[in-house]
Structure 1
Amino acid sequence: MSDNKGKRTDPVVQPSTRERILASTLSLFNQKGPEAVTTAEIAKAVQINQGNLYYHFRTKESLVLALFSRFEADALALVKEADAVEGADSKAYAGFLRKWFSLVWIHRFLFRDIPGLLAIAPGLRAPILMVSGGMRLSVDVIFQRMEDADLINVAAEDRKTLLTNMWIVSTYWAVYLGLQEGVHDLGPQHVHWGLSQVASLLRPYLSPKARADLEAMLSELFT
């Protein structure tokens, strides 16, 4: 039996009240949508009073903007990861697409409820445009790397249209499901459906190797 006398254990770091507020708000927004969640519900979930909640976040808009800031940081980290990919690694590029949709799943209220979000948080419009522009630029760079590695072949006149359509589908697929199919409670299968729609746009332009890696990625379902 080992003797633990004299050994120090690192204290468990508890999340701050602000972090707990954001975690509970994200969960509630994902479950019910921002418009249906009250500040009283958030305070109850965090087990604090509303005065304490208002100390950290005075409005629902400030909560939305803080959560979007987290999403933005995660998206930028994903872009940096993609920048480190070697040119001919088609499996890594397919993985980048999957990781983007995993990020969408974590922050799904941002995509499912975007029309209502802009009414709650008008200040969200500028950050959305900034992230949109940055992500589209990054995907354009990835396309160029894939073309240089003979993994994709897109005519110059079609490239901008393809990038635009990919962004539209990857951003608004959840809105489509809500409006056209009546799906408001998103599950992993719906995220996989959105991923498959974007993949269908790419598939005709991919080399056999890149297409095989794309299909292998699609065979793994979200959980």
Structure 2
Amino acid sequence: MKTRDKIIQASIALFNEQGERNVTTNHIAAHLSISPGNLYYHFRNKEDIILSIYEEYARNLLLDTFPQVTSEVEPLDAIILYMDSVFQTTMKFRFFYSNLPVLLGKSPSLREKYVEVQHAIAERVSQLLVSLRTANIIIFEDEELVDMVSILRLINTFWVSFYQTQNIVNEINDSVFYQGVLKILVILRPYTTEASLPGLLKARDMYQQRYQDALYP
């Protein structure tokens, strides 16, 4: 692995473990046993590292998160694949979700990239919901689509921050993310057709069990 990639991966791990605000470029260099000068050869500062991390994060979201409903992928399976992908991406880059407004406020370049990517994500979520409606999995009016997309993205983006403000012990582990998935299923249930409801309830039970297993390993 190239030094630049090692710096990115080490930064992700340290930011997740210790919190981005508690990690400096010197900490990252020491963790990798390289000189600060070697780190600065690849990145100008910590904000430059975070911007590069976000670009990797965006690739994960846009390339891996949104399955297509096709003859090979059943509509309900597409929901499960979507939520699993969101969970995995959120877990890998969880420091973003814990400190997002501060990170965006410190870096205009990151904010610009974030807004650009979020517009693309909103479009992908819209397409997924429309494909589920076409497959008669969920029912909604056209004018509801924008709000549905916003609500789902609110849960995906800010669930971790919300959780951390509501609990004395705010450790982020798998159980926290499964709770977020369960909230998404609650949002979708009123829109689910009668024929598709058993499948959605089966998915809910599966994630409820995953939550229990993660809570009491």
Task: Name the count of aligned residue pairs.
Answer: 208
Q: Which residue of 2 aligns with 1:159?
A: 145
Residue 82, structure 1, aligned to residue 71, structure 2? no
Larger deviation, residues 197-206 vs 43-52: 197-206
Gaps of 5+ in 2: none
Is the deviation greater in 89-98 or in 62-71? 89-98
Q: Which residue of 2 aligns with 1:150?
A: 136
Are 1:62 and 2:55 matched, yes or no?
no
Which residue of the partner structure matches residue 179 of structure 2?
Answer: 193
Deviation at 1:69, TM superposition (A): 0.4
Deviation at 1:77, TM superposition (A): 1.1
Moved more, 201-210 or 147-156: 201-210
Partners of 1:21 and 1:46 within 8 A in 2: yes
Inter-partner Cα distance in structure 1 for 2:79 and 2:109: 33
Pair 1:208-2:163 in alignment: no
1:182 positional shift: 4.4
> Structure 1 stretch 183-192 or stretch 34-43: which is displaced more?
183-192
Q: 1:37 aligns with which of 23, 26, 39?
A: 23
CA distance in 2, matches of 1:33, 1:59: 17
Alpha carbons of structure 1 residues 212 and 98: separation in structure 2 relative to 1, 3 Å? same
**Most deviating of 202-211 and 137-146:** 202-211
Mapped partners of 1:84, 1:56: distance in 2:
41
1:177 paired residue number: 163
- The percent of aligned pairs where both chains have the same amino acid is 25
CA distance in 1, matches of 2:161, 2:116: 20
Identify which of 129, 140, 144 aligns with 2:115.
129
The one-letter amino acid of 2:203's match is L
Kept in 1: contact 2:189–2:197 (CA 8 A): no
- More helix by proportion, 1 or 2? 2
Structure 1: tracts of 5 or more residues without a match: 1-14
Greater relative contact order (Cα < 8 A, sep 6+): 1
CA distance in structure 1 between the partners assigned to 2:90 and 2:208 by the alignment: 19
**CA apart distance, 1:50:** 0.4
1:105 aligns to 2:94 (yes or no): no
Deviations 1:8-53, CA, capped at 9 Å, x for gaps: xxxxxxx111111111100000011211101111001111010000
Query: Which secondary structure does the structure 2 equivalent of 1:186 belong to?
Result: coil
Q: How many Å separate the matches in 1 of 2:104 and 2:168?
A: 21
Mean CA deviation greater in 135-144 or 49-58? 135-144
1:83 CA displacement:
2.8
- 1:209 CA drift (Å): 4.4
The Cα shift of 1:102 comes to: 1.3
- Shifted more, 62-71 versus 89-98: the winner is 89-98
Q: Conserved in 2, the CA contact under 8 Å of 1:140 and 1:163?
A: yes
State the alpha-carbon separation in 2 of the partners of residues 50 and 184 from structure 1: 32
Deviation of 1:127 (Å): 1.5
Scaled by the length of structure 2, what TM-score is found?
0.87
Preserved contact between residue 69 and residue 78 of structure 2 (Cα < 8 Å): no
**TM-score when normalising by structure 1:** 0.85
State the Cα RMSD in Å: 2.0
- Assess if the C-alpha contact under 8 Å between 2:133 and 2:139 holds in 1: yes
Q: What secondary structure, in the 3-state scheme, does the structure 2 residue paired with 1:82 have? A: coil
1:18 touches 1:56 (CA, 8 Å); kept in 2? yes
SS of the counterpart of 1:221? helix
